[in-house]
Amino acid sequence: MGAGIRILVVMLAVAAAGSGVVAQLQRDYYASVCPDVETIVRDAVTKKVQETSVAVGATVRLFFHDCFVEGCDASVIVVSSGNNTAEKDHPNNLSLAGDGFDTVIKARAAVDAVPQCTNQVSCADILVMATRDVIALAGGPSYAVELGRLDGLSSTASSVDGKLPPPSFNLDQLTSLFAANNLSQTDMIALSAAHTVGFAHCGTFASRIQPSAVDPTMDAGYASQLQAACPAGVDPNIALELDPVTPRAFDNQYFVNLQKGMGLFTSDQVLYSDDRSRPTVDAWAANSSDFELAFVAAMTNLGRVGVKTDPSQGNIRRDCAMLI
């Protein structure tokens, strides 16, 4: 499929998915105050990804962790201060790579460097745009994004409890948690494919590769590779690529891996081992275009979670890392 046709099809998919769009969000939200914002962000993100490909998976994961806790409001970027322990210092967020935060900070600095745009664009929207851009830069779909979010007024570690899916979740648990955010099981399966990029620390999947009891849903050869890379007593900072086949490409290899028993987490492999979700995995393993359409629709839905548009709910932070 040609690039122009591919982008058009993806944009049409978003339009179809957006029939019930949050009224206050719109694609041209900054047209009058910062008309070139998407180009400015894309250029800054491109520079960051050229410096390190780690920024791709790191930014995508940052977006997910932001939206699932108090909505897509950039509260995950806020640093702890005084007596407040912020979201980013919750145990579940300590593994968020610094390059994800840096991608947003640098993109925001580039936007603010344009006098017309200074303090006009929210950190939450910067994160949405940056996430779209890293995905496209890694070979994934390019798609239109809805804008107009305000930044959250609070960020607390306690708000993270129970909001993020651990790697041990089964299909019912995953479906339930995503449903709590108005996301369907199809959305969940599509969004799980973000694990086609990024890294995971050995401890997150250690229980699946114990020599005495390797998870039976895992390919034996893959388990051996993981055991060699993550032996007992391994440095807890060691991380492996989530997708061992095309780790730097945003593609549908994730689903092909699941068919081969090469999902890294229990929550990945269960999408294939559970008969209810396996047909979707098989379909997207065979058809990357269908997967991309579903992924764009799911990302659009994710970007609407807990959105704040009323000034009583949020603001545009001058510093993405500070609530003031």
Catalytic positions are: 65
Q: Is 165 annotated as a binding residue?
A: yes
Q: Which amino acid is at 136?
A: A
Q: Is 87 annotated as a binding residue?
A: yes
Q: Is 195 annotated as a binding residue?
A: yes
Q: Is 71 annotated as a binding residue?
A: yes
Q: Is the dihedral of CA 89, 93, 95, 101 positive or negative?
A: negative
Q: Is 251 annotated as a binding residue?
A: yes
For 171, other C-beta atoms within 10 Å of its C-beta total 18
Q: Is 197 annotated as a binding residue?
A: no
The first and second tokens of residue 27, run together, are 């694609």
Q: Is 73 annotated as a binding residue?
A: yes
Q: Is 36 annotated as a binding residue?
A: no
Specify the DSSP class assigned to residue 89: G
User: Burial level of 104, CB count in 10 A (0-12/13-18/19+)?
Assistant: buried
Binding residues: 66, 69, 71, 73, 75, 87, 165, 195-196, 243, 246, 251
Binding site as annotated, residues for Ca(2+): 66, 69, 71, 73, 75, 87, 196, 243, 246, 251
Binding-site positions for substrate read 165
Annotated binding site for heme b: 195
